[in-house]
Amino acid sequence: MSLRLAVEHFKRMEEDDWKVLYHLSRFIYSFMHVSEEVLTKATGLEAKRLDYRLRRLHEFGFVGRSRRGYTLLTAGLDALALRTLVGKGLISGMGREIGVGKEADVYAAVDDEGNRRALKLYRIGRISFRDTRRKRAYSSPLIQHQWLVVNIRAAGREWKALKKVHPLGALVPKPYGRSRHALVLELIDGALLCEVKELDDPKGVLMDVLESLRIAYSAGLINGDLSEFNVLYDGERAWIIDWPQAVRVDHPNAEELLRRDLSNILRYFRKVGLDYPLEKALEYVRSV
Ligand SMILES: Nc1ncnc2c1ncn2[C@@H]1O[C@H](COP(=O)(O)OP(=O)(O)O)[C@@H](O)[C@H]1O
Ligand SMILES: [Mg+2]
């Protein structure tokens, strides 16, 4: 929804619109509402011109407005992130939505050179369309605003984890770029393991997963949210996606989380006919 708004209005944005939107975003960590006075100072625009820009941004759905001031909305954050990624040549066209998860929307995209990419936008706290009773409360500008920071932090955590484990050879999407709550990732053409009911070589697929977990572990990280819902299988290799909740191996719950990750994934493999012992999997992941 908000990405559609961001893309639709992107081309209508003028330099001063971006300036106001950018300055508004600088305050998300400190204030929920930003007054015109503060924005005048920050942008250097005189009141009348600022007012004009704010009206446009409000009309685009990028900014919320109340008596207490102005608030950046999700679509505004999307627009800012897109602009940065477009500016870096990491995104030059958007494709269809390829995944809606618990915490993010993922779209197919292409970069400047025509390479296909996945654009992942964090959406923690978003309203579900089915959940109409809570819809009003969640979609209010104030509540949207509180989640912006949460989403930016989650993207930052996933970015850090992927930057750490991808270069070591783990089968995870290559991270190309990040802006705010958005990540540009290698696009994996595959199906989630939860949708794959039969595997020709379950042992080979499991070993891919264990090997990636072993590499992550050797880099000091445990995935922390592993299950058949976060593994993409491309017909040959298995890729572990979705790393924002990765924890360090010295985290007090690290061992428990590793056991849970492994139990989850081994339960899936039992369903496809491979019974692999938990202790053996643990030993493999912890071996250097
Ligand atoms: N790199 C990728 N390539 C292809 N599809 C992806 C990629 N990353 C995510 N997806 C798709 O988007 C969905 C949601 O992404 P995910 O990273 O799991 O976020 P969430 O936290 O919302 O579960 C996934 O289930 C998958 O279908
Ligand atoms: Mg997921």
Question: pLDDT tens for residues 180-230?
Answer: 999 999 999 999 999 999 999 999 999 999 999 999 999 999 999 999 999
pLDDT at 68 over 60: yes
Residue where a domain stops, chosen among 165, 187, 209: 187
Total number of domains in the chain: 2
Q: Which tens digit of pLDDT belongs to each residue from 220-245? A: 999 999 999 999 999 999 999 999 99
Q: What percent of the chain has pLDDT over 70?
A: 94
Please tell me if the CB atom of residue 116 comes closer than 6 angstroms to any atom of ligand 1: no
Residue where a domain stops, chosen among 187, 205, 226: 187
My answer on whether 126 and 206 are in the same domain is no
pLDDT score of 130:
53
What predicted TM-score, i.e. pTM, was given to this entire model? 0.94
Query: What is the spatial distance between Cα 105 and Cα 119, in angstroms, rounded to a whole number?
Result: 8
Reduced to 3 states (helix: H, G, I; strand: E, B; else coil), residue 156 is helix
Q: Which tens digit of pLDDT belongs to each residue from 243-252? A: 999 999 999 9
Q: CATH number of the domain at 276, please.
A: 1.10.510.10
Point out which residues pair with 179 in neighbouring strands.
182
Of 78, 225, 242, 261, the catalytic one is: 225
For residue 85, the CA-to-ligand 2 centroid distance in Å is 23
My answer on whether 17 and 32 are in the same domain is yes
User: Containing domain of residue 210, as a range?
Assistant: 191-286
My answer on whether 109 and 234 are in the same domain is no
My answer on whether 174 and 213 are in the same domain is no
My answer on whether 176 and 241 are in the same domain is no
My answer on whether 139 and 43 are in the same domain is yes
Residue where a domain stops, chosen among 161, 187, 213: 187
pLDDT at 87 over 80: yes
End-to-end Cα distance, the chain: 45
Please tell me if the CB atom of residue 162 comes closer than 6 angstroms to any atom of ligand 1: no
